[in-house]
Amino acid sequence: MGFEKILFYLFSAVLVLAAIMVVTRRNPVQAALSLVLAFFSSAVIWMLAEAEFLAITLVLVYVGAVMVLFLFVVMMLDVDHAALRAGFIRYLPVGIAVAVLMAAELALVVGPRYFGLAQYAAPVPKPAGYSNTEVLGEALYTTYLYPFEIAAAILLVAIIAAIGLTLRRRPDTKYLDPSRQVFVKRDGRVKLVKMAPEKKLEIK
């Protein structure tokens, strides 16, 4: 067994273990940290498959940005661990059924009859000057240009819809108009009230 195969099986085992910890840990912070470990293991496996750009993108975008945001949100929220534990036990049979179904589907698709070096040849090692980013960008902007532009348009529509839903007017919310606040005068905000002085109570 070559050194690359040893690394592949090692990080695959770490990835599976980290994924199991994500769904079984009762502490949300521990689950998020397990997901970070799963992302790192996936990045290493992509590096072994000579997909360097995808590996570094996974680390920078998901681990460096998304998971940090998840950790901040989880730490700031007051999570009721008892309710989470009760919900986990309640939906455990459904989760086990879904996990068994997914394992059966993976066995049918990735089994030795349909997947392996006997059916698919090993990838040819790339030369020293090979750039994974250059090849990916060339394929993305030539062969898959229209699907890429359609996906970009769909994401743009989703962003505009999210902003529209956030900024919609609600009758039970008070809004401030900066243009009206600029022209406000003192007489419109401050009212001086004159009151007669009260007599001081004498304490006997």
Q: Do the domain assignments include residue 119?
A: no
One-letter amino acid for residue 185 of the chain: K
The percentage of residues in the chain with a pLDDT greater than 70, rounded to a whole number, is: 82
Sequence-distant (≥ 6) Cβ neighbours of residue 73 within 8 angstroms:
none
Residue 105 to residue 188: CA distance in whole angstroms: 71
Predicted confidence band of residue 149 (pLDDT cuts 50, 70, 90): very high
User: What's residue 152's pLDDT?
Assistant: 92
Of residues 95 and 124, the one with the higher pLDDT is 95
Q: What is the pLDDT of residue 47?
A: 86
Would you say residue 187 has pLDDT above 90? Answer: no
Residue 143 in any domain: the answer is yes
Entry pTM:
0.59
Residue 113 domain-assigned? no
Residue 37 lies in a domain: yes
Convert 70-98 to b/e letters by CB count within 10 Å (16 or more is b).
bbeeeeeeeeeeeeeeeeeeeeeeeeeee
pLDDT (mean) for 156-171: 80
Mean pLDDT of 8-36: 87
Residue 87 lies in a domain: no
Q: What is the pLDDT of residue 82?
A: 64
User: Is residue 123 in some structural domain?
Assistant: no
Residues of the domain holding 7: 1-79
Contacts of 34 (CB under 8 A, 6+ apart): 18, 19, 21, 22, 25
State pLDDT tens for residues 112-133.
677 766 666 666 777 777 787 8
Q: What is the pLDDT of residues 46-76, one digit of tens each?
A: 888 888 888 888 888 888 888 888 777 777 7
Q: What is the pLDDT of residue 42?
A: 92
Q: Which residue has the higher pLDDT, 20 or 126?
A: 20
Confidence of residue 14 (pLDDT cuts 50, 70, 90): very high
Q: What CA–CA distance (Å, rounded) separates 33 from 50?
A: 26
Rounded to an integer, what distance in angstroms lies between the CA atom of residue 165 and that of residue 167? 6
Better-scored residue on pLDDT, 190 or 119: 190
The total number of structural domains that make up the chain: 2
Q: pLDDT class for 79, splitting at 50, 70, 90?
A: low
Which of 72, 16, 80 is CA-nearest to residue 45? 16
Residue 171 within a domain: no
- Which CATH number characterizes residue 53's domain? 1.20.120.1200
Q: Which of 37, 75, 74 is nearest to 58 (CA)?
A: 37
In a domain, 151, yes or no: yes
Query: Which residues are CB-contacts of 92 (< 8 A; sequence separation ≥ 6)?
Result: none
Classify 1 as helix, strand or coil: coil
Place of tokens 């680390």: 59
74 and 1 within one domain: yes
Taking each helix axis from N to C terminus, what angle separates 3-24 and 28-48, rounded to the nearest 10 degrees?
160
Q: 140 falls in which pLDDT band (50, 70, 90)?
A: confident
Asked if 48 and 4 count as a contact pair (C-beta separation under 8 A), the reply is yes
